[in-house]
Structure 1
Amino acid sequence: MYQYIFSITPDKPRAKLTAGSTTIPVGGSVTLSCSVEPSAGWKYRWFRKTSGSFVEFSTNKEENGDITVIQGGMYMCMGMREKTDFYSDSSDEVTVQINCKFNHFNYFVTIAFLNITCTGTKTTNITCFNDDSVHLGTVSNKVFVTRQPNRPQIFSDETITLTCEVQGGETTEWTCEWKRTSTVIHKTNGKEWTFIVSESSSGDYMCQCRKRDDWFSSTQWSEAFRLSVSSKPKAQLNSNSREIPAGGSVTLTCTVTSSSSGWKYFWYKERDSSEPLTGEEADFPSNGQMNVSEEGLYWCRGGRGEPAYYTDYSDRISITKNVTVSSSASSSFPAMFVVGPFVGIVLIILLLLLWRYRLSKDLSCLRSLQSDSSSQRAAATNHGANETENHYRSLLHDEVVKYAKRRERPHPEKSCLYVNVMPGINSST
């Protein structure tokens, strides 16, 4: 390192230093121009003041008096003719400032420094040092919050992931902290935070990150991200009919609130298994619809995400079959109205004929009994009139009695209606 003492003599030309701007923006630079008038053919040497003395830091090898600087400080230049080893007088000093934004106890401020070096670009971290290589701070990257899954509506008990995105810091390892409604509620050893939400999780979320290997460098707090959590939904089940027509089917439709999306539907029927119906057991024309051709109780629910999140079950719907009478059977109804009365009349006539037959048979049995009774009374009277023929009549009476016993009479319960016939008494009907 060389130090130079400059003096001005009347016979030497003087270099002139101009700056396009005396303030370097964060991540930017300014151009300094050095010239010696009125002659040409000069090359230029550049000096920057460090620790109280000017130190040469660059030399233009070509006849170009422009240089770009990114450091704040005091600059000076001079011209030289390389072949003759002749130097002009040095220029006046020009002070260049730099705006550096850094974090000081979680407050971000912008200050103009002189002897400051800031490295980086506008889209990455801008780190500022002073001339003694003391780290002053890091310009904040822009940060914002994203959410996965990014659905229009989130429900209680769903799992979500919030990410603190740091522009330009995709490959940097970060530790981040999160706050909701101005209160720090969580810290993560990374940019992502995964958790199960509830209705109380609703609110405005903000995040801020720091490098893992540099606790003094941090981003700004992100803008607020609104999270709204609704209560757990219940599936709705509808049917175009509750009765299955002969040889047909009905269509069931399962839905979840219209403002939500990404649902897959699961169908159930009252049976021994509690597992949802499969494509082999039912007809699913589209997601959320099922054609039913068997009667029974049906219900459904929705599910989405990984791991799967399920809604509450829908109400159950009872589906029945519509039993109708065939056309051939219905066409016989008019004929039955004609044949029915005719058959009834015929049955009545047959009953009357049967009754008359039974009545005539009973009268015939009654007459036979009356005739037998009269013969017995006559035989008893003749036996008392002729005493001389007692022996003969006694024999005859015995034969009559034997004949009467041998005669086969019908059983009363099967063919005849009997009446009491007393000897010597006339029965009248």
Structure 2
Amino acid sequence: MGHTLFGALGLFSLNILLYCGHAQGVPRPVLTVSPSWTSPGDSVTLTCSVEPPSAGWRFFWYKAVPDMSSTNNYYTFELLAGGTTGTEQDSYILHGQTHTAGYKCRAERGDPVFYTQYSDVKFVWSGGVNPAASLTVSPHRLQHFSTESLSLICEGNSAEWRVKKADEDGFVLPCSYWGEMTGSTCNTDTRASSGVYWCESETQSSNAANITIHNPEEAASSSVFLVPLVVGLVSGVLLIILLLLFLRRYRKSEASSLSRSQRTNQSPATDHMINQGETQDGHYASLLHGDSCLYEAIGGSEEPEHGAVNPVCSSHSC
């Protein structure tokens, strides 16, 4: 009995090692979607990359279908239309994307056929409202605190819904990991975190909402840091304004002092020139007045005879 159990355990371990060694030698392609957020009717390009790149691959494209019967919220995957034989190109274009959906890819080549692993699931998020399936967030906003309750309500043409969330690392989790699903509504508790939320049924997927959930302590510490920063910036601006006003006033005062100094230096010379001019004008006026007395004729304005002068007037008495 002991030998049998030991042999079974050894065989099981060997199978695990063989499987792991085989898995490690099989490449896993990387799927990218562009754009990741769409409006209804947009075209989306799926690109499947195998490393190291080489020729001869054929690529297969799959769409994720929610498995509502699974308690673990799994997906099944079905080949996209026209993809049963694969494509030689490493890209696939989806025309008229209308709703949120997940996709994956795989590649094969050779004879006998060698398959890669499946890629991770990548989602294309739809920002437009789908009448057949819609998500409503209550309170109706995308910024929330972790201490407040949050309800995610699914509406549309389905009797059974579930709410999913994809976090920043791409992990997809159902409502039961952060809240409680009651009918078509997911009510969250304090375990809710930032991510992309959406509703899905077996046949429909809703619009997606990119919700950010803040920690109150982090918000408070951010505000404590922000207030001194704003006060410092305002104080710096006021100081610069005061300095500019001071410099302007100082320059005006300096210009006024320079103007008064120039006027003071010019005044004595100006007064001297004025006095000199007045003296010369007076002397000239005196000469003219004396000449008129000297040549004043006797008996009026007629010119005097030779040698006759007015006995009353002389050149010194006028």
Q: TM-score normalised to the size of structure 2?
A: 0.25
Higher strand content, 1 or 2:
1
Q: Larger relative contact order (C-alpha < 8 A, sep ≥ 6)? A: 2
Higher helix content, 1 or 2:
2
Q: TM-score normalised to the size of structure 1?
A: 0.20
Whichever of the two has the greater Rg, that structure is 1
